[in-house]
Structure 1
Amino acid sequence: MTNALPGVEDGAWYSCLTDELEALRAKARRAVHEHSSMDPGQRGACGPRLRGLLGALGDNAMIEAPFHCAYGVNIHIGDGVYLNAFCTVLDTARVEIGARSLLGPGVHIYCADHHHDAAKRAEGLERALPVTIGADVWIGGRAVILPGVTIGDGALVAAGAVVSRDVPANGKVAGVPARPI
């Protein structure tokens, strides 16, 4: 997996406070604003500016509004994926969502791991850890997927779960933190 952000290498500390990254975030804000404010009949499955921003958007994929992403360029969505309203993807690293996966309302996916030292955090130091979601996964509403997590094909994440560890193929997790059920 490669990171599409300039100067950002997965797992390495970098400053998120650069002009170049701010320009990319501004571009993403404009695209998600357009997507979220368009008439649904005109927007279709994904607004044109958002479609052009994403790393990949598969056939018959649907992103409901409102939607938010940090950059968009690191988001790769497979065929038939459905993101319900209020999903947020903070894609400082690559985010892969496999074919036919379904994300409930308000699902959040985070790739940014901010520095644990307050002074370094104030300097904007963070690292980017990719998130991979396999095919045919169901993620219930308001679940949070933390940086570096992989969720295997066919897995189920219960609503409200906070996923901080990998979930195996066909696994089922629930709770805070998420545990196998």
Structure 2
Amino acid sequence: MGGDWIRYRTSPALQELSWKAHATCATINRTFYEAPDEAQRLFHELVPGAGAGVDFRPPISIDYGFRLTIGDRTFINADFLIIGGGAVTIGADCLIGPRCGIYTPNHAEGIEGRLGGWELPEPVTIGDNVWLGGSVTIMPGVTIGDNSIIGAGSVVTRDVPSGVVAVGNPCRVIRPIAESDGPDQPRAAASEAR
């Protein structure tokens, strides 16, 4: 999967893979607070490419966990969604806000192709130390560079370079990341990214 046209709706094998992944997600979501160690074990079984110290909050919904890589110490907030068979790479030390969605399939544009169930999964890459505000949607084939911030509610349809704040629908770069900020500095980036 990824790079070649597929027919998910007519492929029992792909449907079974995603069904099993969603069943595992349902178990993780149901048991997370009562049996956190078991939920973590299931998560790492579902996503073998998850690094050390990855932290998440349910619910999660992932089509193909074996197509997902997550770097160390990344935090994923509630209602995280990954759809489609394209490879998804999320770097280390990322902050993923609530209700973020990553979509990897593009359906055929032509009428016959859509009716035939054809889709083209494309990879999504998120660099290290990226902050996605709440309800960010990332479209197929997008790369977001290291250290960037994507403002809440943004729809990312094109690549975003490293070290910038980008917002909107469609998402666009509005400025570079501030050199420093802290308790005595203005919090412009934080207010824009919420």
Q: TM-score, normalised by structure 1?
A: 0.90
Tell me if 1:31 matches 2:24: yes
Q: Contact (CA 8 Å) 1:29, 1:70: kept in 2 or not?
A: yes
After TM superposition, the structure 1 = structure 2 runs for residues 89-108 of structure 1, keeping only pairs within 5 Å, are 89-108=82-101
Per the alignment, residue 188 of structure 2 pairs with none
Equivalent-residue separation in structure 2 for 1:16 and 1:42 (angstroms): 34
After TM superposition, the structure 1 = structure 2 runs for residues 137-152 of structure 1, keeping only pairs within 5 Å, are 137-152=130-145
Residues 116/55 of structure 1: CA separation in 2 closer, same or farther (3 Å cut):
farther
Q: Which structure 2 segments of 5+ residues have no match?
A: 175-194
The structure with the largest alpha-carbon Rg is 2
The letter of the residue matching 2:96 is: L
More helix by share: 2
Residue 113 of structure 2: SS of its match in structure 1? Answer: helix
The letter of the residue matching 1:132 is: T
Offset at residue 173 of structure 1 (A): 0.7
Offset at residue 86 of structure 1 (A): 0.3
CA RMSD of aligned residues (A): 1.5
After TM superposition, the structure 1 = structure 2 runs for residues 1-181 of structure 1, keeping only pairs within 5 Å, are 8=1, 10-17=2-9, 18-44=11-37, 46-181=39-174
Equivalent-residue separation in structure 2 for 1:144 and 1:39 (angstroms): 25
Deviation by residue 1:142-179 (Cα, 9 ceiling, x = unmatched) = 01000000000000100000001101011211000001
Equivalent-residue separation in structure 2 for 1:47 and 1:36 (angstroms): 11
Residues 99/155 of structure 1: CA separation in 2 closer, same or farther (3 Å cut):
same
Q: Which structure 1 segments of 5+ residues have no match?
A: 1-7
Offset at residue 72 of structure 1 (A): 1.3
Offset at residue 95 of structure 1 (A): 0.5
Per the alignment, residue 4 of structure 1 pairs with none
Equivalent-residue separation in structure 2 for 1:27 and 1:44 (angstroms): 20
The letter of the residue matching 1:134 is: G
Q: TM-score, normalised by structure 2?
A: 0.84
After TM superposition, what 4+ stretches of structure 1 lie above 2 angstroms from structure 2?
43-50
Equivalent-residue separation in structure 1 for 2:32 and 2:48 (angstroms): 24
